[in-house]
Amino acid sequence: MKKNRAGILGTGFYLPDEKLTNFDLEKMVDTSDEWIVERTGIHERRIAGKTMATSDMAFNAAKMALEDAGITPDELDLIIVATISSDRIIPSTACMLQNMLGAAHAAAFDLTAACSGFIYASSVAAQFIESGVYKKILVIGAETLSRFINWQDRNTCVIFGDGAGAAVYGAVDGEYGILGFDLGADGAGGDYLDIPAGGSRCPASIETVENKLHYLRMNGREVFRFSVKIFGETILKSLEKADLQKKDIDWLVPHQANIRIIKTGAKRLAVPMEKIIVNLDKYGNTSAASVPIALAEAAHNKVFKKGDILALVGFGAGLTWASCIMKWSREE
């Protein structure tokens, strides 16, 4: 009898209606459409309205994923929300989402691994499912990064956007599902991408607000160097654990950080660009929401077919990285 593996039963995603284009940014900061596109590949990004929070976007993505999976909220055993832009410090966004969904039987917690968060959370879900502890788990990556952006800092304001992506995990036939994953971190690079204030080391004060320490800061050069290096390395490790090779990849679903990083990683893995899911031109970098939005959008566009080998990869603040190899189990 084949062992059950954790696989995706349904997906969903949500993007706010408001678009912020490169031409809009030209009026706000010293930049240009040409400069942004050349360095990042981004043309526009979505921005949440003033009354919309991370949990609201997570809720919309979750509803879509649950409907796609054909299950109801009361069937969920666990909800994991990957985010660095939670509604509040406490309670967790996952607990708020549990209440919004009416998922009365589900445990809930947030996971903080920045742009690697969705894959980190998926690996956690897989352990619960494959051990038989839980049967249905909702994993969401959701971010409202626009709340933490300094719109006078062109190093960051041109890159990030808001959105949410979701996946329902459950047991699938052992031939399918997550075949291997790799997680990693290098805390020595933590200062390369951070929000300095608001935590226990540097609590909120008049001084921290005046000094703009509640906004995201990034050492772009160091983050780029790290990302280019780790992109291929982590996928190769996941492939080894799955007993597969580069040539076996049917689709690559990368974190939507920068088109140059994606192209460099694709070249190393010998994956043609037409086999890579790219939507950063429309949505920018949505951190933990990036991979699940790309995955869900492609799935709902019927890009994947049953049996396809997918490689997912994320990398970002922490520094963290994560990848997984899965065999698509759905008949789209």
Q: Which residues are catalytic?
A: 115, 255, 285
| 230: exposed, middle or buried (Cβ count in 10 Å: 0-12, 13-18, 19+) | buried
CB 269 within 8 A of CB 121: no
CB 130 within 8 A of CB 6: yes
Q: Cα–Cα distance between 55 and 197 in angstroms, integer?
A: 22
Q: Cα–Cα distance between 133 and 126 in angstroms, integer?
A: 10
Q: Cα–Cα distance between 117 and 321 in angstroms, integer?
A: 9
Alpha-carbon distances of 166 from 12, 24, 56, 149, rounded to whole Å: 5, 29, 13, 24
Contacting residues for 132 by C-beta, under 8 A, at least 6 apart: none
Q: What is the dihedral of CA 193, 196, 199, 201, to 10 degrees?
A: 110
Task: List, in sequence order, the alpha helices (H) in 72-115.
Answer: 93-101
Q: Which amino acid is at 103?
A: A
Residue of 154, 178, 151 whose CA lies nearest to 167 = 178
